[in-house]
Amino acid sequence: MKTIITFIIVFGVLVLVHEFGHFFFAKRSGILVREFAIGMGPKIFAHQGKDGTAYTIRMLPIGGYVRMAGMGEDETELVPGMPLSVELNEQEEVVKINTSKKVQLTNSIPLEMLEADLEKELFIKGYVNGDETTEITYRVNHDATIIEQDGTEVRIAPLDVQFQSAKLWQRMLTNFAGPMNNFILAFVLFTIYVFMQGGVAYTNTNLIGEVQANSPAEEASLKPNDKILSIDGKKVSDWEDFTEIIQASPNQELNLLVESDGKTKEVDITPKAEESGGKEIGLIGITPPKKTGFMDKLAGGFQQTVSGSMQIFKALKSLITGFSLNKLGGPVMMFQLSAEASKAGVGTVIAMMAMLSVNLGIINLLPIPALDGGKIILNILEGVRGKPLSQEKEGILTLVGFGFIMVLMVLVTWNDIQRFFF
């Protein structure tokens, strides 16, 4: 249960922050956000906001989305002969169109639809109450809503509030805002983690920060602020130098030359063997010193965000040069990480969430159709050409990209299941 709660919180926050970036900048650009969804699949909760957005929670915790007007994501298509019902206001304008059998409107008019235009002319025409002798045309209010077949109520999408009606720079910023929010979240979380740790470690020194209780270092009488000068006669000047030697020497006795309280002494120590990343490394139970100033902690949060980004880029390079499904992870991998992090404590969960946020931001910026990066590439192409791609071509590219992502997700998920459960 602890793992499940951790997974839901981590996944929910990452998706919420990412999608809120798209949502916020779409709203600021005058684009109608028809639905803000957390999760995928069947709807389990919906609320129609006064701002025209339907806020929904869906059953499968594998993503989320912001459905913007004009993005080709409409789930309900009105076709001639379709039975529906309409609700009118005092001006005899349609303010609600019901296409769902799950919802009954008390003051609605049954209509067999013949023709409709909910983008330009804003009208709907049909036979009322099954009377095929008379066609009636109703004007549709600009802010009317439509109830989709699953019962979700969303606003209609006239041309003036569609995505393509916004300026190019506004659309580009709206597409970039999701990944941008993930980078901001990562910085905030890494900064919180640094504050929880009491400061940010600095490693361009050979000083010892803390010595863990009952560790090889404590048994060898090493103390905070001791300076490691050499190991087995090899001079060391910073943490990278001596941690590389120590980690490569599990269960092997090492001779350290240490400066302590102004005096130099030799210490024999045997690193304890521990497993990390599928291999055995040596540890002696020391940590680097920390910078504890407020600005140092902020700088530490930024530094860890950059460092996390570099790790993701290295992983992507490794994936390109030698593709393997074992280098990828999906929701199952994320659940496994949540299980391990929840056992380690709140700090580890925060650090993991920060790293996943960086990962989500970078992956979404890849130039793959259907991802934010692919959409930004299309925005740049539009700026160069002076006109956008046709909706048909853009739709095909998006469909191909979406299909590729879905196939990859299925393969990765199945591979994760085999790795962790078989």
Q: Which of 36-45, 107-116, 175-184, 376-385 has the lowest mean pLDDT?
A: 36-45
Nearest to 95 by CA among 32, 47, 153: 153
The predicted structure's pLDDT at residue 78? 85
* Strands (E) located in 241-338: 254-260, 263-269, 272-276, 279-283, 286-287, 290-291
Stated as kind and residue range, the H or E segment containing 54 is: strand 54-68
Question: Higher model confidence: residue 418 or residue 311?
Answer: 311
Mean pLDDT of 171-189: 96
**Which two three-digit tokens encode residue 385?**
């050409």
- Amino acid letter at 384? V
**Domain extent listing, the chain:** 83-161, 203-288, 294-421
Stated as kind and residue range, the H or E segment containing 209 is: none
pLDDT per residue over 144-154, tens digit each? 999 988 888 89
Q: What's the N-to-C CA distance of the chain in angstroms?
A: 22
Helix, strand, coil shares of the chain as percentages rounded to 5? 45, 25, 30
The predicted structure's pLDDT at residue 76? 64
Mean pLDDT of 19-48: 92
Is residue 96 a contact partner of residue 87, using CB atoms and an 8 Å limit? yes
Q: Which residues are catalytic?
A: 19
Residue 1 and residue 23: Cα distance in Å, rounded? 32
The predicted structure's pLDDT at residue 422? 66
- Beta bridge mates, 407: none
pLDDT per residue over 223-235, tens digit each? 999 999 999 999 9
Mean pLDDT of 39-48: 87
Mean pLDDT of 76-86: 87
The predicted structure's pLDDT at residue 23? 95
Token look-up 């010892």 returns: 208
% of the chain beyond a pLDDT of 90: 50
pLDDT per residue over 110-133, tens digit each? 999 999 999 999 999 999 988 888
Confidence of residue 411 (pLDDT cuts 50, 70, 90): confident
The predicted structure's pLDDT at residue 110? 93
pLDDT per residue over 3-16, tens digit each? 788 888 888 889 89
Q: Which of 187-191, 197-201, 261-265, 338-342 has the lowest mean pLDDT?
A: 338-342
Question: Across the chain, what does the average pLDDT equal?
Answer: 88
DSSP assigned state of 271: P
pLDDT per residue over 340-357, tens digit each? 787 878 888 899 999 999
pLDDT per residue over 248-302, tens digit each? 999 999 999 999 988 999 999 999 998 876 788 999 999 989 888 899 999 999 9
pLDDT per residue over 100-113, tens digit each? 988 888 889 999 99
**Which two three-digit tokens encode residue 46?**
């919906």
| CATH T-level assignment (fold) for domain 203-288 | Pdz3 Domain (2.30.42)
pTM across the whole model: 0.79
The predicted structure's pLDDT at residue 75? 57
- Beta bridge mates, 268: 255
pLDDT per residue over 364-407, tens digit each? 999 988 889 999 999 999 999 888 887 788 888 888 888 888 88
